[in-house]
Amino acid sequence: MATFFGEVLSVYSRAVEEDEEEVDENEEDAEIRRELEEKREVHLHWSPEVSESLKSGNKLPCSDFILAVGHNAARFLSVYALTSENWDALGRASVWNERSGGVASEESTCVFYRPKDNPAVLICQVTCYLAEDQLFQWTEKVFDCLQLRQLNVTVLSESSVSEFKTADYLSSSSAPFLRSLHSAAFSGKPVCKSLEQPNIVTGLQAAVLNHCEVHRIPSIVYQCYSDVIGPDSVTMETFKPTLTKLGKSIKLDPSPSADILRKIVRTTNIHSNLYI
């Protein structure tokens, strides 16, 4: 949640604040509200040939849509899939919100890829922050570009183990671990346990799964619960069991060299100065 001036507030209360929007709203307030809303809109930028075909009404043919949400999930795909095959960057999504920090960075953090030899597969890596009010819109806009017939959706996502609730005590050795959640139309066998009640999934993975449930698209979310803040190779490895499923649609590198792993993990350590 953001205040008017853009500070990020994390809200844990289950009470819903009632904003008295209609009470004293003058035209200027409404104008600011409208502009802010416009600025927060999600924009998809496709490569020329894709936007050309979308314009003429042909949606992207897609049998497998693989979405990685978060640094570990995105890097897992980078290491195991994107290095091993020739991929085309098809497009990207850009968002502006209170955490994107004024200027949109040059390096895009929500990119779509397609393998050169198999145009029916689409991969998306999302490592940027999407605000609560942008999740639904992102999902609607992306799925609006895809052919829904024979579409299968796999989402890899991650969360902190502190958000996982269980009656037993979770020792530190048990994390990271994987849980799955799938839509009613999904018919395969998940590679891990189903997410137990009372746990819930939120964020982009929830928005995508809700969309698939309502539109009867087979879809599964693999949520990794990790006890490490920031990307690390152990958490990335947790997604490995899903390779057996993903391998049917994309060529994968089952044992990437240690160099690739190291390179991908190291780049993020620079930001952490908590214990220096």
Partner 1 sequence: MSRVGYMHTDCLIPMTGNNPYATSNENAEELHTPAEVYTAAELKLAVLQIRAPIIQSKSKKFRQLLVSWIKSSGFSRAVVLSSSQAYQRDDQQMKGIPLRYLVTPSLLKDSEDALKELSWREMERVSAYPGLTDANTEPRLYVPGGEDIPLAVLILFCSEGDNIPDAFTLVNHLNDWLHLLDDPSQKPNKWKIPTSWNLLFGSGIPPALF
Tell me which residues touch partner 1 (CB under 8 A).
1, 13-19, 21-22, 33, 37, 132-133, 135-137, 139-140, 164-171, 181-184, 194-204, 206-207, 209-211, 213-214
Q: Tell me how far apart the 2 most distant CA atoms of the chain are, in Å.
A: 62
CB of 269 to partner 1, least distance (A): 29
The C-alpha torsion from 76 through 222 and 87 to 252, rounded to 10°, is 70
CB of 209 to partner 1, least distance (A): 5
**By C-beta, is 7 or 168 nearer to partner 1?**
168
CB of 213 to partner 1, least distance (A): 5
CA distance 201 to 221: 9
CB of 16 to partner 1, least distance (A): 5
CB of 129 to partner 1, least distance (A): 14
CA distance 216 to 221: 15
Burial class (CB in 10 A: 0-12, 13-18, 19+), 141: middle
CA distance 130 to 152: 23
**By C-beta, is 15 or 103 nearer to partner 1?**
15
**By C-beta, is 114 or 179 nearer to partner 1?**
179
| Interacting residues of 42 by C-beta distance below 8 A, sequence separation 6+ | 93, 94, 95, 130, 134, 137, 138, 141
**By C-beta, is 166 or 257 nearer to partner 1?**
166
CB of 191 to partner 1, least distance (A): 14
> In Å, what is the CA distance from 69 to each residue of 3, 21, 111, 127, 135?
25, 33, 11, 6, 12
**By C-beta, is 77 or 135 nearer to partner 1?**
135
CA distance 191 to 90: 29
**By C-beta, is 190 or 231 nearer to partner 1?**
190
Note every long-range contact of 261-268, with CB atoms under 8 Å and residues 24 or more positions apart, other chains counting.
261/79, 261/233, 261/236, 264/75, 264/78, 264/79, 264/231, 265/75, 265/231, 265/232, 265/233, 268/71, 268/230, 268/231
CB of 133 to partner 1, least distance (A): 5
**By C-beta, is 16 or 276 nearer to partner 1?**
16
